Amino acid sequence: MKAIYRLSVMVAAVATLWLAACALGPTIAPEPADSALKPAKAIFEAKCSVCHGISRSLGKNKVPEEWRKTVTRMQKKAPDKISDADVKAILAYLNAVQGSKK
């Protein structure tokens, strides 16, 4: 009986940790409604997960001008990894999935 009790405590602890991890934000990038943006999603996932998780971006909603500022600011941190074409694709993707909710 004791062993079963311990097991259920462990299961509850694992479930709590799992929920806590989920609360930190999405770590899977949402599919864009426009399938033409699929390659842009892949570029975003590859380039914007190098220094921090993609959840850093997916936790935010910005208007296009704000995303442009953020993404070009990020590009300046890694100019050898993020090209101007990448910025264009990433902006199209972020504006589609993480636009302002206002």
Cα–Cα nearest to 101, from 59, 42, 52, 45: 59
Question: Near ligand HEC by CB under 6 A, which window of 2-10, 14-22, 34-42, 72-80?
Answer: 72-80
> Which residues are CB-contacts of 100 (< 8 A; sequence separation ≥ 6)?
61, 62, 63, 66
Binding segment toward ligand HEC, per CB under 6 A, in 1-9, 16-24, 28-36, 74-82: 74-82
Q: How many CA atoms lie within 13 A of 30 on its CB side?
A: 15
The mark string for 3-32 relative to ligand HEC (x by CB under 6 A, - otherwise) is ------------------------------
Does 37 bind ligand HEC (CB under 6 A)? Our answer is no
What is the residue type of 99? G
Among 15, 18, 24, 52, binds ligand HEC (CB under 6 A): 52
Cβ contact 32:45 at 8 Å: no
By CB under 6 A, name the binding residues for ligand HEC: 47-48, 50-52, 56-57, 60, 70-71, 74, 77-78, 82, 90
